[in-house]
Structure 1
Amino acid sequence: MGLFSRNNKIERPKVILELRSPSCPITAIVEQDNRVAYFYLFGDNEDFGVKSCWIRNLIKAPDEIEVKLMEKGVPPMLTKEFCKFPEGQVAVNAKDLEIVWLEEGDGAALLENGQILCVIPSWGGDAGFLGYARDCIGQGNFAWELAEDNEMRKRVKNAVSFIKAWGEEENPFQSLQPKILNYYDEVFGESVKYYAIDNSEWPPKGLYVYEGEEKIVFATVAVALRPQPKIEMYFEDSSRINRIEIGIMLKTGLTNDEINNVASLISGITTIPWDYITFLGEGHTVEFQNIVSEKFKYAILTKKLKLLPPMNVPSFGDSQTNFLWIVPVSDREWRVIKESGSQVVLDKLTAIGEEIFNFEREEVV
């Protein structure tokens, strides 16, 4: 008899609902057979893999984990001790369901008639934790209880509000963009150039450019609309660093082609957190393959250099906005950062003063 024949009453799981993340290369799927329903996140890259969370049993819960079925790739039911409804529940129905992506784009919640059924946050799949489920009691093998005071309830509510806000007369970008531009104008001077750097994709974002007598300043606008993925797995309070804007200050005198090239590179850097499901922070390095200099093909992100002004960019949501300066570094400097940490190179860059803005400077290591 085949595993999925009618005689042993195990059907192949069917896809009930599917939705692509608006930010990250991840797809959320609800699957259900005649015994159990599951919520999955499928990542396009191997690092993310597949994350799963139990939703509900449709028949009486087993006393023990269905190890033999799991070995054959069959989704297991949650055991009786962790089930709020040990006798089983009715099957989920697509018309009652809604998938809500968390603001970071790397986690999602499944709602039934507006009520949260389960959530897979960014740390789902880590250290034995898979996700939270409304109909679970305690810490089960395939889901943990979604308590009334669970922080994820607020996070899902915020995500719903964020999505809804894009349909308002003044959407989040239209609200934040002028505040940031006015701030940059006050700090650096009124800009003469502004680039849209979103490639006509959601959410919109821009780049302010100011050309002064001595320096040219580039600074992003509204990248901070989305908190970065994965960051909360590494920091207990990520609210000071999860939303970013980035910029670079260079010696004036760049050609139009060079300005456009730098703008394009900055645009590319702003996509890294969501394209690769990661985050950018103090001391991180990125590629910076520019046409201005053969020597400086990397950059360090920092706000620790004294010559770079501390920024207090208008914030969005419950977080502060962390402004990181892009400082070009050479291959040798990049290798030292990788091997010994960023502080050694940052100290030496501080020592050379205004030369940090110059693509023709000498290497510091």
Structure 2
Amino acid sequence: MAIFRSASGEGGTEVVLAAGNPYGSRTLVVERDEDSSVAYLCSPDGTVHGAVWLANHRPAPAVVDLARINAGLPPLMPRPNTLHPEGRRPLGQLSPLWFEEGDGVALYEDDELLAVIPGWADMSRGMPGYARDAVGESPFAWALSEALEGLRPRISNARSYWRWRHSEGSWPSFQQFVMGHLDNVLGPAGRYWDASGERLPTVGITERPPHGERGFTVLSTVGMSCQRMPTVEQWIDKPGAYARIELAVATRDDPKDAALLLVWLAQYPWHSVTWLGHGHTAKWYHEPSTFPLGPQYSGVLMQANPAHMPDMSGFAFGGEIVRWLWLSPVTTQALQAH
């Protein structure tokens, strides 16, 4: 049984808010009819990844109204699970606050926290978002008051992060911070390319020609670590040590070819709402014949601290260490083995 309908605006409902995250990978959609309001966290194709009931606008039923759900209407919260069993007025002015990772969002009503849909919300597993007006746990919402101890730091960090990120000079200062670290560990910079195409996250690629005893060129992203990757906390117990990365690749051939690998993956975690880590692989998105390092390869393996590569440690941002993952080309057989 579907607990929430898809966020399509059909069936007599009205979309009162549709707001995308800064990376273009998730949209918060708030719908209402005369009886209730609900919020959905959707991907660009409309797939609902998380949802939360927000309010009843008429007296609550004693139990779940299955007929209403089967008709594709926003659910009514049963009487035992709402702070306002007689219903409440329509929602006021709504505004979203996206988590730094872009996979979760806090929703405010008239500047007061109304609901949170975290990245781990999953209706298929019976995990809705958190609502201010909810009581206890129900299929439609969990009580926000009971989760604030864990959520409040995330919300505070998100507000601070976006305030900083939108301030004048934030990106140039971060860029110089990373470039200075790379100057220390790799030597002077060569060319620099933009890899973001005016889409967030902003990422560049810096070329570091052979230097000292290093007889090969290193290319590194600059900017991936400026924002935490999505979903890490769903896989790692202590995500702080793995949430911020940069990518690097070594080459003795034309650096422009190797740079295409970084262009390919630099924004991938935020646009695909996933993460990259040690031991992960990625299959080339196009025909193998177009793989930048030769048609015998069809993807890459990512490794932290591989042998015979420069030590990139010593850089941190937002109080969290940044890990460099080195890309190595792999064959189709190697990809299948992973």
2:55 paired with 1:56? yes
Whether the 8 Å contact between 1:60 and 1:87 is mirrored in structure 2 is: yes
Q: How does 1:40-119 map to 2 (within 5 A)?
A: 40-45=40-45, 49-93=48-92, 96-119=93-116
- CA-to-partner distance for each residue in 1:290-347, whole Å, 9 max, x for gaps? 34422233210011522223422532224322211111122232232x2xxxxxxxxx
Asked if 1:132 is matched to 2:114, the reply is no
CA distance 1:320–1:247, shift in 2 (3 Å): same
Q: Distance in 2 between matches of 1:275 and 1:266?
A: 15
Structure-2 change in CA distance of 1:32 and 1:156 (3 Å) = same
Q: Show CA shifts across 1:143-195 (max 9, x none).
A: 00112643222212222222222332332x22221111111111111111111
Contact 2:283-2:335 within 8 A present in 1 as well? no
CA distance in 1, matches of 2:331, 2:80: 59
1:306–1:261 CA distance, 2 compared to 1 (3 A): closer
Q: Any conservation in 2 of the 1:32–1:38 contact (CA below 8 Å)?
A: yes
| Unaligned 5+ runs, structure 2 | 1-10, 285-289
Question: In structure 2, do the counterparts of structure 1 residues 117 and 41 end up closer, same or farther at CA, with 3 Å as the change threshold?
Answer: same
Residue number among 137, 145, 148 corresponding to 1:147 in the alignment: 145
Question: What letter corresponds to residue 240 of structure 1 in structure 2?
Answer: A
Structure 1 residue 82, shift from structure 2 partner: 1.3
Offset, 1:217:
0.2
Give the % identical residues. Answer: 27
- Give structure 1 stretches of 5+ with no counterpart: 1-10, 339-365
Aligned to 2:16: 16
Bigger drift between 288-297 and 128-137 goes to: 288-297
Match in the other structure for 1:278: 274
- Across the aligned residues of Structure 1 and Structure 2, the Cα RMSD in angstroms comes to 2.0
Q: Report the equivalent of 1:263.
A: 259
How far is 1:35 from its partner? 1.0
Change (3 A) 1:290 1:313: farther
Cα gap change, 1:196/1:75 in structure 2, threshold over 3 Å: closer, same or farther?
Answer: same
Aligned equivalent of 1:167: 166
Q: Which residue of 1 is the match for residue 208 of structure 2?
A: 210
CA distance in 1, matches of 2:84, 2:321: 42
Say how many residue pairs are matched.
318
Superposed, which structure 2 residues align to 1:303-314 within 5 Å? 303-314=304-315
CA contact (8 A) 1:78 1:142 kept: yes
Aligned to 1:351: none
Q: Deviations over 1:231-278 (max 9, x none)?
A: 22222221111111110112x3x23xxx22321221111122122221
1:19, distance to aligned residue in structure 2 (A)? 0.8
8 A Cα contact 1:101 1:108, kept in partner: yes
Q: Secondary structure at the match of 1:279?
A: coil
Q: TM-score, normalised by structure 1?
A: 0.82
Displacement, 1:97? 1.3
| 220-229 or 303-312, which deviates more | 303-312
Aligned-partner residue type, residue 265 of structure 1: L
Provide closer, same or farther for how the CA distance between residues 125 and 334 of structure 1 changes in structure 2, counting only shifts above 3 A: closer
2:201–2:270 CA contact under 8 A, matched in 1: no
Secondary structure in 1 matching 2:267: helix
Change over 3 Å in CA distance of 1:45–1:242 after alignment to 2: farther
TM-score (norm 2): 0.88
Residue 174 of structure 2: which of 161, 173, 176 is its match?
176
Answer whether contact 1:261 1:290 (CA < 8 A) is retained. no
